[in-house]
Amino acid sequence: MRAPARPRRVVLEARAKLNLGLAVGPMRADGYHDIASVFQSVSLADTLIAERTARGYSLRIEHEFVALKGAAPARGRAHVPAGTDNLVLRAARHACERLALPGGVRFRLIKRIPSRAGLGGGSADAAAAILACARLHGLRLPRARRIALALGIGSDVPFAITGGTAIVTGRGEKLSRSRLAEPFRALVAVPRWRVSTPEAFARIDRGKYALTAWGRSLRFAGSLRRKRLRIEDALRLGNVFEKVLQHRRPEFESLCRRIRAAGLLAPRMTGSGSGVFGVVPRGHSVREAAAKFSGPELLFAVRSVGTGLQSRTQR
């Protein structure tokens, strides 16, 4: 069935991402950093429901706990701002203003992706809000327009709009789509402590980590731009944020040890943390690996997917 021209209601799955590798360059004149990263959409997703209204923007947030292990975090909820600071409302206002769309939108967000964990949940929600606003008005935006709107909200939002597998450079807006040689499954462990992205970038500047390996990392990321990407190759890019953990280093190292002890491969931090993922070896059971994992972290089972946003249109 073809989507109606102006549906009353749009439902979107907004998927989390993993950074299979992430290198950071020196700070630029605009205060941002160039990055070289392999982004991968995964199955863990929030749901955004958007309805056209006569005027104004509103948002109701519900939390759904989908971790395989770990206690539902009471404090974790405070990490998601419910008011005008929420990325859904900021992105909706931004998109509707830029696109001169009339009326308002009522949003309902079902949150499953933990925040400040490096999983890109806020960016995925923002990307979903931009697409929802366009769809509610029957607009199909060209790729360049979608990416420009997304970059106005945050550096990771262009990837969230595009999704799948991509080698990402610039501030996050230069996307070179790629394809995994084989899909994979992973467990993501999210510690109780979370990370502020601007602070993590500031620690990289103070430690001058960007200056040494950046040129090599950028060339290596460039060499990954081929049709079929092997996850082992992407992981070789490393994640520079693992170097700036300071007093969290012992906890991170303990987590990596416990991920390996559960039979998982290549523990790697995603984004600026605090989430760390381990790849489930081919032929191994996710449930068994999860049962073997010990520790207080929230544990999520994910699989690699080919798109960032998945839509259902309802009358």
Give the interface with ligand C5P as residue ranges (CB under 6 A): 32-33, 35, 154-156, 171-172, 197-198, 201
Nearest distance from C-beta of residue 292 to ligand C5P, angstroms: 35
Nearest distance from C-beta of residue 129 to ligand C5P, angstroms: 15
Active-site entry in 34, 46, 125, 156? 156
**Residue 85 appears among annotated catalytic residues:** no
- φ, ψ at 219 (rounded to 5°): -65, -40
Nearest distance from C-beta of residue 24 to ligand C5P, angstroms: 7
C-alpha to C-alpha distance for 48 and 126, rounded to whole angstroms: 10
**Residue 17 appears among annotated catalytic residues:** yes
Q: Residue 198 or 283: which CB sits closer to ligand C5P?
A: 198
CB proximity list for 196: less than 8 A, separation 6 or greater: 116
CB proximity list for 247: less than 8 A, separation 6 or greater: none
The radius of gyration computed from the CA coordinates of the chain, to the nearest angstrom, equals 19
Q: Residue 121 or 154: which CB sits closer to ligand C5P?
A: 154
Q: Residue 51 or 125: which CB sits closer to ligand C5P?
A: 125
Q: Residue 24 or 134: which CB sits closer to ligand C5P?
A: 24
Q: Residue 122 or 278: which CB sits closer to ligand C5P?
A: 122
Q: Residue 14 or 256: which CB sits closer to ligand C5P?
A: 14
Q: Residue 174 or 236: which CB sits closer to ligand C5P?
A: 174
* Cα atoms in the 13 Å half-sphere on the side-chain side of 100: 0
Residue by residue, DSSP assigns the chain as: -PPPSS-SEEEEEEEEEEEEEEEEEEE-TTS-EEEEEEEEEEEEEEEEEEEEESS-EEEEEEE----SBSPPPTGGGGGS--STTSHHHHHHHHHHHHTT--SEEEEEEEE-SPTTSSS-HHHHHHHHHHHHHHHHTT----HHHHHHHHHTT-TTHHHHHH-SEEEEETTTTEEEEEEESS--EEEEEE-SS---HHHHHHHHHHHTHHHHHHHHHHHHHHHT-SSEE-HHHHHTT-BGGGGG-GGGHHHHHHHHHHHHHTT-EEEEE-TTSS-EEEEPPTT--HHHHHHH--SSSEEEEEEB-S-SEEEEEE-
Residues recognised as catalytic: 17, 156
